Structure 1
Amino acid sequence: MRDQRLPSSPGFWRSPLRGPRFTAVFGVVLLVGITLLFVTGLLSYAAYNPDLSPVNDQTPDKGILGFYLFSWPTDPPWLYRLTQGVHVTLGLTLIPVLLAKLWSVVPRLFALPPARSVAHALERISLILLVGGALFQFTTGVLNVQVDYVFPGSFYTLHFYGAWVFFAAFVVHAALKLPTAVRNLRRLRAEEGDLVSPRPAEPTVTRRGAFGLVGGASLLMFATTAGRSFDGPLRETAVLAPRGGPQPGSGPGGFQINKTAAYAGIDRRETGDEAWRLVVTGRSGVVRLSRGELLGLPLHSAALPIACVEGWSTSDQWWRGVRLRDLAALVGHDEPTDVLVESLQRHGAFRRAAMRANQVADPRSLLALDVNGEPLTLDHGYPARIIVPAAPGVLNTKWVARLTFGDL
């Protein structure tokens, strides 16, 4: 008989809560939730127009995993705000469920022998990838939401490869365990199996109470983060969301900023009216325009939010500037075409970004000069920035120095 003091002994794990049905409930919730996470993650990948590589998508050696989906649309203008808001909010909401699921099956991690057959060995290996992948994806996701980049390398690259490893293991695990989970959910009699302790301790909480505790924790995570994707009073509830909560100031420029001019290494002298010129290149040549000359062109306005990969977004702001398609026409492109945007910024990712022709064609896609009736502040991209409906915030390049129109 095994020593009851060792984790490999079933008698070591004495919680009366563990059981197949208890585990199955969390498993079914994660089956639905993680599938939706993966789909919205793919949509986030598509929103960067990854076919415009190596500008927008710098993930190395992705091979068939980097398949291109479609040209990201500009309608509805809040599309990325919705898909990425769901992705991040759902991911945070599922954390208590994930932890409860892992806790419920921890005895199996110590079960001996480690492999009873080749099939069992393969299942155990898939579990290592599943548990490791889940912890990696959720941890890096939370750190990204909190804008705390303590991990080595690029978040985009790490999260991209991690997602495929994790989801592949998840699909295998779901295919193997879903029939068992359904059977366990239908059981009405007392639970049996290797998760049930042979010598359970006295219960301190019922299973219903445990479900309520996990559900309440998930509801708390949802309530303190979901407001980042909404306007009005709900935004005040996003207390766990950096940059996603109440507006950080007042006045025309008093809305969320992801990257300040100081962080990006912007030299004020480069943005002055005497020094700064926008260089526009296209089929017919090169045009250099001062801010004053841009203000002399036909100006248009659009009410658009900014939505970022961290899951936060601004409310609609009123932008005014020159349409991108008008700037394309200025250098010989009568039909809208792709554009490469280059910034003055020296630090941080996406100093260069690209937009597809359908984004340039949208009449709301602007080289913005003003916001909410006033000139852009330096932190919001003065002297000029890109604003495109439904595009990820990082592609709405600030401190624009050059626009190059043509097929990319």
Structure 2
Amino acid sequence: MRLTLPPDPPVTFTARLHDARTATVIGRLLGPAVLVCFATGVVSHYLQHPPEWLADRLPSHPSGGYRVTQGLHVASGIAAVPLLLVKLWVVYPRLFAWPPVRSPRHALERISVAVLVAAAVLEVFTGLLNTFQWYPWPFGFVPVHYAVAWLLLGSLLLHLAVQGPRIRAHFTRTSPGTLALPAADAPDRRQFLLGVTAAVGAVTLTTAGQSVSALGPLDLFAPRSPAHGPQGLPVNRTAAAARVTRASLADWRLTVAGPRPYTLTLDELRALPQHEVTLPLACVEGWSKSARWTGVRVRDLLDRAGGGSQARARVVSIEATGAYRVMEMGRLSAQDPQTLLALRLNGEELSLDHGFPARIIAPNRPGVLQTKWVGRLEVV
């Protein structure tokens, strides 16, 4: 006797948690996270790669400005990860809609969603891996991440325009056209949204401590901990990675190029007037920490070389390779009294990993532009 099984029923999605109302509520959380991440990311990009017209207009204060904007960038990006996953889970049944295209408007909607999802997944997860300094892809992270950010913004605006009527109908609890939930399903949605909110809050609280000192005790899962590192400060690029050794520094001299060029030994630098500032080192990966830096004002070195009060600076590291081996500093940063060619960190001589014998420290600058192992300073 052969047992015949009935045919499988067609795939249907009837759970209320997959409906438009739930998707809209998640979107109200995900949208602001994406917009904050985008805005602060653009700030970071232009601080690192300013166009010529902007170079002399970038402000050097507030001194901790980059610490705040980049901290928000990484925190909002990390918060967007669970929100994006939940959003995709809520709307994934629509991927199985049949027929796949019903009208020109529906085609536009599906194209906008495809671009939006692809851009969001690529942007969020490449950004997350960047916080770990892990780049398992063949393209340059910075230009691709920046370009995809604009693609994500454009596809998001297109999606909002196409879905505008539906979003308005479900935006608030009392909006006209909102479908009422059966009484038995309402608690499920509330619990689901409460769980999502708790998850996002937990992820944020346990990672934001890398840039918010007050949350340091809760910094359990952040990619980096600012509490660990030589001389009380983390290191991203080590001297070994830069191929800088004590032996290669045996005959080190600082060359200052300008109308009146000159060179200085380390002892001669130490004999110049020293200034101490407390400034944060804030890295693009999101971590930051304040420290005491002691050294010679960059503007004094430029002025001695004939630079004057309007001079920019070009800084060249002795490291053999590196995307930021040569760094240009706009007028406001170069002339700021807090911008130092630092020789000491927290009262101690710079360690080799922190840029011995001399490094740049300046207010409101990304960590990649706080050049280490400085060998040449040029008046521009």
Give me the TM-score of the superposition, normalised by structure 1: 0.85
Matched, 1:220 2:202: yes
Q: 1:215/1:369 Cα in 2 relative to 1: closer, same or farther (>3 Å)?
A: same
Residue matched to 1:384: 358
**1: CA distance between counterparts of 2:111 and 2:27?**
19
What pairs with 1:173-322 in structure 2 (closer than 5 Å)?
173-186=159-172, 206-231=188-213, 234-248=215-229, 253-272=231-250, 275-284=251-260, 286-314=261-289, 316-322=290-296
Matched residue type, 1:264: A
Give how far 1:247 is off: 2.9
**2: CA distance between counterparts of 1:332 and 1:121?**
64
Residue matched to 1:64: none
Which shows bigger deviation, 174-183 or 296-305?
174-183
Give how far 1:159 is off: 0.4
**2: CA distance between counterparts of 1:43 and 1:318?**
26
Matched, 1:102 2:88: yes
**1: CA distance between counterparts of 2:38 and 2:44?**
10
Which shows bigger deviation, 255-264 or 13-22?
13-22
Which shows bigger deviation, 32-41 or 67-76?
67-76
Secondary structure of 2:344's match? strand
Residue matched to 2:3: none
Q: Quick one: which of 71, 76, 95 aligns to 1:85?
A: 71
How many residue pairs were aligned? 372
Deviation string 1:306-335 (CA, Å, 9 cap, x unpaired) is 001101011x21111110100111111121
Which shows bigger deviation, 78-87 or 239-248?
239-248
Residue matched to 2:4: none
Q: 1:51/1:124 Cα in 2 relative to 1: closer, same or farther (>3 Å)?
A: same
Q: 1:151/1:5 Cα in 2 relative to 1: closer, same or farther (>3 Å)?
A: farther
Structure 2 unaligned regions, length at least 5: 1-6
Secondary structure of 1:206's match? helix
Give how far 1:230 is off: 2.4
**1: CA distance between counterparts of 2:216 and 2:172?**
41
What pairs with 1:59-74 in structure 2 (closer than 5 Å)?
71-74=57-60
**1: CA distance between counterparts of 2:56 and 2:105?**
39
Residue matched to 1:59: none
Structure 1 unaligned regions, length at least 5: 53-66
8 Å contact from structure 2 (residues 294, 342) kept in 1: yes
Give me the TM-score of the superposition, normalised by structure 2: 0.91
Matched residue type, 2:39: V
RMSD: 2.4
Give how far 1:133 is off: 0.3
Deviation string 1:186-208 (CA, Å, 9 cap, x unpaired) is 45599659xx9xxx9x9798111
Percent identity for Structure 1 against Structure 2? 39
Q: 1:340/1:93 Cα in 2 relative to 1: closer, same or farther (>3 Å)?
A: same
**2: CA distance between counterparts of 1:131 and 1:381?**
42
8 Å contact from structure 1 (residues 236, 245) kept in 2: no
Deviation string 1:89-111 (CA, Å, 9 cap, x unpaired) is 01111221111111111111221
Which structure has more helix as a fraction of its residues?
A: 2
Q: 1:72/1:222 Cα in 2 relative to 1: closer, same or farther (>3 Å)?
A: same
Q: 1:186/1:305 Cα in 2 relative to 1: closer, same or farther (>3 Å)?
A: closer
Deviation string 1:345-387 (CA, Å, 9 cap, x unpaired) is 2243211111101001110000001111111000100000000
